[in-house]
């Protein structure tokens, strides 16, 4: 042992602007399309469920967007988050690679999600909104939004996927501790829910429909989404901006930036500020997105316009997709069980700027446990995918005898995922498959829309 472990910034070093990657992307951005007309979407199409400030961010081509002072004040409760040098892990892996990780698990919800929940809460309150509705699967996003609503004096109504509601009472208790209301979805509060009455498990698709219906039906209520959209990725870029300064403190620059991808926001958060530097300064930085082999959107999906939700009510977005009604098998990284990905992130994969890799579940838990034993932090199942990719790159550096600098986003802790670790220790964790048949079905189910290059 060795040297400095943690690189900390002071509160006045919380970024003042978010990084908007859109103006630096090659080519013109592909617009989202109206689900009915298939014409490019206008701001007015989104106004019933989002405040205008967020719609403007969604279409902005400004490279830097100022963070409101009141948002920065709330971020001070946990930001800047620490950057760690993983000395013990490096020694364990016997690698010449230098491994750094950004730790977002210190936030109120235990993940990166509050970075955007707080911004969304702020803009909605400024717009005179009284209540936000949303869906949640495992509960991570629901607890982040409930916290933000509490801070800004908004009501928060969360539609929680039925099976999670039944199996994860603790996540529900967290949302309630933040003053949020949780409904088991399908509920009898919405038409969408009543139409599915008796559905045994519910699904994210149904829960989204319920939350959007509530928001669309009331003047003073809006909807909030936890990933995929442009403004959500934007709000997450504080992660990468802080990393740039912290890597400077460490006297290094990453050769590789790694993160897991579900909807794409945590990886966008750490990667986009570095991708902008790659574009502007012609840096050779590599970017690796890690996803589950059982939901291999980026590695095996089709690049196509598709709906964001299962039912097909949202705009069509240009992205890698497994088909909007694909229901991923029940692996434990609930935050990665999504059929598509953020359009900007997909565009960067398409351009070859971001490399995508898929990993089976048991290999990710094996890596997560070795990480925890070295570093003392139990990772959530989602960033365990990033850790698996880090292990592989560290091994490559060893084989090649190169001192390579790897940075990854440890986007959340696993304190509410110990059931998955329990299953691993009991030898009950399985690698779930994504088959050729799944892939063929996915292609058949794509909606009619203009083809993508």
Q: Does 416 bind a copy of itself (CB under 8 A)?
A: yes
Nearer to a copy of itself, 24 or 155 (CB): 155
Q: Which one among 29, 68, 96, 179 touches a copy of itself, defined by CB under 8 A?
A: 179
CA distance 344 to 349: 9
Counting residues that bind a copy of itself (by CB under 8 A) gives 45
Nearer to a copy of itself, 150 or 362 (CB): 150
Q: Which one among 23, 26, 169, 217 touches a copy of itself, defined by CB under 8 A?
A: 169
Q: Does 249 bind a copy of itself (CB under 8 A)?
A: no
The dihedral built from the CA positions of residue 369, 371, 373 and 378, taken in this order, carries a sign that is: negative
Q: At closest approach, how far in Å is the CB of 404 from a copy of itself?
A: 23
Beta bridge partners of 290: 260, 357
CA distance 57 to 422: 42
Do 382 and 336 form a contact (C-beta atoms < 8 A)?
A: yes
Which residue bears the tokens 């034993």? 373
366: enclosing H helix or E strand: helix 361-375
Q: At closest approach, how far in Å is the CB of 172 from a copy of itself?
A: 7
Q: At closest approach, how far in Å is the CB of 80 from a copy of itself?
A: 9
Do 84 and 8 form a contact (C-beta atoms < 8 A)?
A: no
Q: At closest approach, how far in Å is the CB of 169 from a copy of itself?
A: 5
Q: Does 6 bind a copy of itself (CB under 8 A)?
A: yes
Query: 119: closest CA among 63, 186, 53?
Result: 53
CA distance 254 to 244: 9
CA distance 349 to 267: 12
Q: Does 446 bind a copy of itself (CB under 8 A)?
A: no
Strand 64-66 and strand 131-136: pairing?
A: unpaired
Q: Which one among 73, 166, 277, 392 touches a copy of itself, defined by CB under 8 A?
A: 73
Q: Which one among 1, 197, 437, 451 touches a copy of itself, defined by CB under 8 A?
A: 1
Nearer to a copy of itself, 171 or 357 (CB): 171
For 231, the token pair is 């403004």
Subset of 364-403 contacting a copy of itself (CB under 8 A): 369, 372-373, 375-378
Q: At closest approach, how far in Å is the CB of 69 from a copy of itself?
A: 9
Q: Which one among 133, 140, 178, 405 touches a copy of itself, defined by CB under 8 A?
A: 178
Q: Does 167 bind a copy of itself (CB under 8 A)?
A: no
Do 284 and 404 form a contact (C-beta atoms < 8 A)?
A: no
Near a copy of itself by CB under 8 A, which window of 143-151, 220-228, 270-278, 305-313?
143-151
To the nearest 5 percent, what fractions of the chain are helix, strand and coil?
45, 20, 40
Near a copy of itself by CB under 8 A, which window of 27-35, 144-152, 278-286, 306-314?
144-152
Beta bridge partners of 289: 259, 356
Near a copy of itself by CB under 8 A, which window of 35-43, 108-116, 345-353, 392-400?
108-116
Which residue bears the tokens 């719609």? 55
Please, which residues have CB within 8 angstroms of residue 216's CB and are 6 or more apart in sequence? 48, 49, 223
Please, which residues have CB within 8 angstroms of residue 134's CB and are 6 or more apart in sequence? 141, 142, 145, 156, 157, 158, 159, 211, 223, 224, 225, 226
Q: At closest approach, how far in Å is the CB of 108 from a copy of itself?
A: 3
Nearer to a copy of itself, 173 or 402 (CB): 173
Q: Does 330 bind a copy of itself (CB under 8 A)?
A: no
Q: At closest approach, how far in Å is the CB of 372 from a copy of itself?
A: 5
Residues that bind a copy of itself (CB under 8 A): 1, 4-6, 8, 10-11, 70, 73, 76-78, 88, 106-108, 110, 114, 147, 150-151, 169-174, 176-179, 369, 372-373, 375-378, 415-416, 418-419, 421-422, 425
């Amino acid at each position: 042992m060795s040297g400095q472990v943690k690189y900390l910034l002071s509160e006045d070093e919380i970024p003042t602007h978010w990084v908007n990657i859109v103006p630096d992307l090659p080519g013109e951005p592909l617009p989202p399309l109206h689900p009915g007309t298939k014409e490019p979407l206008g701001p007015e199409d989104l106004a019933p469920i989002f405040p205008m400030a967020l719609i403007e961010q969604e279409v902005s081509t400004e490279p830097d967007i100022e963070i409101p002072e009141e948002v920065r004040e709330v971020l001070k409760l946990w930001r800047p988050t620490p950057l760690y040098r993983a000395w013990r892990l490096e020694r364990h892996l016997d690698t010449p690679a230098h491994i750094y990780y950004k730790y977002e698990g210190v936030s109120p919800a235990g993940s990166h999600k509050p970075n955007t929940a707080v911004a969304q809460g702020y803009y909605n309150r400024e717009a005179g909104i009284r209540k936000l509705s949303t869906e949640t699967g495992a509960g991570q996003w629901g607890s982040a939004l409930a916290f933000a609503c509490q801070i800004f004096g908004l009501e928060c109504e969360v539609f929680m996927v039925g099976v999670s509601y039944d199996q994860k009472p603790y996540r529900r208790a967290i949302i309630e501790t933040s003053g949020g209301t949780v409904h088991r979805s399908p509920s009898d509060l919405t038409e969408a829910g009543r139409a599915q009455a008796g559905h045994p498990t519910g699904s994210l698709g149904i829960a989204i429909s319920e939350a959007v219906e509530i928001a669309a039906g009331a003047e003073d209520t809006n909807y909030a989404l936890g990933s995929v959209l442009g403004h959500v990725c934007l709000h997450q870029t504080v992660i990468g901006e802080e990393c740039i300064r912290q890597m400077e403190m460490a006297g290094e620059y990453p050769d590789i930036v790694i993160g897991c991808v579900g909807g794409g926001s945590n990886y966008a958060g750490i990667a986009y500020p570095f991708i902008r530097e790659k574009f502007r300064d012609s840096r050779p930085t590599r970017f690796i997105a890690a996803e589950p082999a059982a939901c291999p959107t980026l590695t095996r999906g089709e690049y196509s316009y598709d709906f964001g939700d299962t039912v097909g009510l949202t705009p069509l977005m240009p992205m890698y997709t497994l088909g909007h009604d694909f229901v991923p098998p029940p692996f434990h990284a609930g935050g990665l069980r999504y059929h598509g990905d953020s359009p900007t992130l997909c565009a960067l994969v398409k351009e070859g700027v971001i490399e995508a890799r898929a990993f089976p579940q048991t290999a990710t838990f094996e890596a997560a446990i070795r990480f925890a034993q070295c570093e003392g932090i139990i990772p959530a199942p989602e960033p365990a995918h990033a850790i698996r990719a880090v292990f592989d790159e560290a091994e490559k550096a060893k084989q090649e005898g190169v001192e390579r600098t790897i940075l990854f986003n440890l986007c959340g802790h696993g304190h509410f995922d110990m059931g998955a670790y329990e299953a691993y220790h009991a030898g009950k964790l399985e690698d779930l498959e994504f088959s050729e048949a799944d892939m063929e079905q996915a292609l058949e189910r794509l909606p009619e829309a203009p083809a993508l290059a």
